[in-house]
Amino acid sequence: MTFGRGLRALSIASAVLVTGAFALVFFYASNDADQGFVQKIFYVHVPLAIVALCGFVAGGIFGIKHLRSGERADDLRSYVAIHISLVFAVGVLITGSIWARASWGHWWLWDEPTLVSFLIVFLLYACYQPLRFSIEDPERQARYASVFAIVAGAFVPLNFLAVRMAEQLSHPRVLGTTGGSMPGDMRLTFVVALVGVTCLFVTLWKYELASKSASIQLRSLRRRLAGDDGLAPLTRSAAPQQL
């Protein structure tokens, strides 16, 4: 199975789109009337958040596919989607904190539902790797991880809806009413940034899939040769070890 197909085109597209988005942010999009220049953080923070949450849901969808078909590749796809979403979520938390400090004078607000709910989602998925690592049998590991990915993946949109219904304190509901009235230059910049970050996510996802697949195939070759050459057996890992 090859995961690296189309990686070159995707990498170029990501580089062009992300660079283009940054150029639009600083040279095209006008400053926000309310927040001024600091609102530019919006173009990196919000796309990262949307893509990270969609990545978690995608992890759940691949989890369903894995449970239905038993295909190990789907478990790998789910694992990598969640792994990269976690990296993006770290970015969301840090950029969000910086923006909060600049806008509200605080790094974090514990009474703001949007912030706390995102932290809960992040911490929930932070348990995914330890869960996988705690299960030695690869079959059970893949199955339990898929169940976790599905349950947590279903929690993400529910959590999003709950936050929408909650009282708004400091954090704006950007893509609700406010997003609808974004000026044209801001909207175009946001859309390009969103597409760029999505493209970057898919590129990193495929990149990691190709790397993991190569490692798994190498390990399988090593094991086939191990009988005669005394190579080390499989070590325990949170990542899928078979395809």
- The site string for another protein over 130-169 (x = CB under 8 A, - otherwise) reads ---------------------------------------x
Q: Which of 134, 215, 237, 242 binds another protein (CB under 8 A)?
A: 215
Instruction: Locate 131 and state its tokens.
Output: 């869960």
Distances (CA, A) of 160 to 19, 49, 152, 153: 29, 11, 12, 11
| Closest by Cα among 154, 140, 11, 145 to 76 | 145
- The site string for another protein over 50-89 (x = CB under 8 A, - otherwise) reads -------------------------------------xx-
Largest Cα–Cα separation, the chain: 72
| Closest by Cα among 87, 81, 88 to 46 | 88
CB-based burial label for 218 (10 Å; 0-12, 13-18, 19+)? exposed
Q: Is 225 in the site for another protein (CB under 8 A)?
A: yes
Binding part of the chain for another protein, among 58-66, 129-137, 147-155, 199-207 by CB under 8 A, reads 199-207
**What does the DSSP 8-state code read for residue 36?**
B
CB-based burial label for 110 (10 Å; 0-12, 13-18, 19+)? exposed
Q: Is 101 in the site for another protein (CB under 8 A)?
A: yes
Q: Which of 9, 12, 23, 94 binds another protein (CB under 8 A)?
A: 94
Considering the complex, state which of residue 78 and residue 213 has its C-beta at the smaller distance from another protein: 213
Q: Is 103 in the site for another protein (CB under 8 A)?
A: yes
Beta bridge mates, 36: 32
Other Cβ atoms closer than 10 A to 97 = 15
Distance, CA of 145 to CA of 135 (rounded, Å): 9
Of the CA atoms within 13 Å of residue 92, those in its CB half-sphere come to 23
Q: Is 102 in the site for another protein (CB under 8 A)?
A: yes
Q: For the CB of residue 143, give the shortest distance to another protein in the complex, in Å.
A: 26
Considering the complex, state which of residue 154 and residue 214 has its C-beta at the smaller distance from another protein: 214
Considering the complex, state which of residue 9 and residue 221 has its C-beta at the smaller distance from another protein: 221
Q: Is 1 in the site for another protein (CB under 8 A)?
A: no
Q: Is 204 in the site for another protein (CB under 8 A)?
A: yes
Helix (H, G, I), strand (E, B) or coil at 32: strand
Q: For the CB of residue 224, give the shortest distance to another protein in the complex, in Å.
A: 10
Q: Which residues 10-29 are close enough to bind another protein by CB under 8 A?
A: 22
List contacts with another protein (CB under 8 A).
22, 32, 34-38, 40-41, 44-45, 48, 87-88, 90-91, 94-95, 98-99, 101-106, 169-170, 172, 200, 204, 207-208, 211, 214-215, 218, 221-222, 225, 228-229
